Amino acid sequence: MKIHEFQAKEILRQAGVAVPRSIVAKTPEEASAAYTELGGKIAVVKAQIHAGGRGKGTVKDNADQRGVQLVKSAEEAAAVAKGLLGKELVTIQTGPEGKQVNQILVEEGCDIQRELYLGIVLDRAAKLPVLMMSSEGGTEIEEVAAHTPEKIFKEHFDPALGPQSFQIRKLCKKLEISGPAARSAEKFIKGLCKVYVDTDCALAEINPLVITGDGGMIALDCKMTFDENALFRHKDLVELRDLSEEEPAEVRAQNTGLSYVKLDGNIGCLVNGAGLAMSTMDIIKLHGGEPANFLDVGGGANVDQVTEAFSILLDDNNVKAVLVNIFGGIMRCTTIANALLEAYKKLDFNVPLVVRLEGTEVEQGRKLLADSGIDIIIADGLTDAAKKVVATVA
């Protein structure tokens, strides 16, 4: 689960991790008042969307309006807010369609002496969180990893103990951080790592992490995502979820108990089992097609879930054909066949439907489909199914 920058910074602030003073605004008037309340000579107005690259991003139809902009007066803050709010901001992570900006963050200026990168993720191979730091703050870390990986320094740490002081000193030495800044680093890094562990983060990223003129360390930006499987332990974090930032079809699917991820292709996929769903997408690609989604209905799907799954697929205007790929293990092929036929009757099925069944009660399931009188393309095997569904959209 993703949250906004201002929400992540509030979590850090409550944990004693240094962040700039800031105020959220939803209108130009609120942005103007926020600038005045902060009381500095300069401030930064930041679009709040669930995407990175906002500083280089631009508003659709207005390339002069950036997603992050320095302002020097209340009037200028209001003008920038007006240029952002209600507009679509296009960044390297949003795609050409962009994301609508519904709120902004007005943040006090900062005495920046140096910019660094700091990130924490789970290293699944090591089975430990890994703390990563780089001198290349303010740039895309993916670019650093691709072109100058030697500039990224890593330290694994025990989540129960947090990073040890000697590990932080090692990182400071490699990054040439000394004096007051090194002392600030000790408090900042230990605090951030504790937040990462305590809130079951999947990612905690500070970019840039700023060293100020007096040697302080402060999070100028913050990105946090959380392990959804652990949210039952964090009811307060669930309340931070912004559904307007999420794909509506994915929210629908989640509310129905389905695992769905929207993609850019034109062949809808309805499959039981995550591994089989991945294989289905792979074989569609192998035969020249483009999957429109990942959709796993699970092993115990009922008629209502299958109907909703088809409804989600058919509501996607990009979907020109649907492939149903079911391996009957826990779920019998007759069950999915009956559910499929019921769903077909309830929905306006206006695209070709290819069905591949295999496993428990497969012959009975195929017979149900064949005797239904419905225009369904029956496939014999996964390769045959992929070839047939790709042919329908060719």
The 10s digit of each residue's pLDDT in 211-233 is 999 999 999 999 999 998 899 99
Active site residue 205: yes
User: Residue 62, exposed/middle/buried by CB under 10 A (0-12, 13-18, 19+)?
Assistant: exposed
Task: Answer yes or no: pTM beyond 0.85.
Answer: no
Catalytic residue among 205, 308, 358, 361: 205
Q: Among this protein's residues, is 35 annotated catalytic?
A: no
pLDDT of residue 394 exceeding 90: no
Which has the minimum average pLDDT: 2-16, 21-35, 272-286, 365-379? Answer: 365-379
pLDDT on residue 153: 96
**Hey, what domains does the chain have and what are their CATH numbers?**
21-108 (3.30.1490.20), 112-239 (3.30.470.20), 249-392 (3.40.50.261)
Rounded to 5 degrees, what angle do the CA atoms 240, 243, 249 make?
A: 150
pLDDT of 218: 96
Check 117, 196, 260, 344 and give the catalytic one.
117
The confidence score (pLDDT) of residue 94 equals 86
Given a cut of 90, is residue 16 above it in pLDDT?
A: yes
Structure tokens at 187: 């408090």
39-50 confidence digits (pLDDT tens) = 989 999 999 999
**pLDDT of res. 353:** 92
Check the annotation: does 109 bind a ligand: no
Q: What is the pLDDT of residue 130?
A: 97
- Tell me: the pLDDT tens digits for 82-116? 999 999 999 988 888 899 999 999 999 999 999 99
Outline where 271-393 has alpha helix (H): 274-286, 303-314, 333-346, 362-370, 382-393
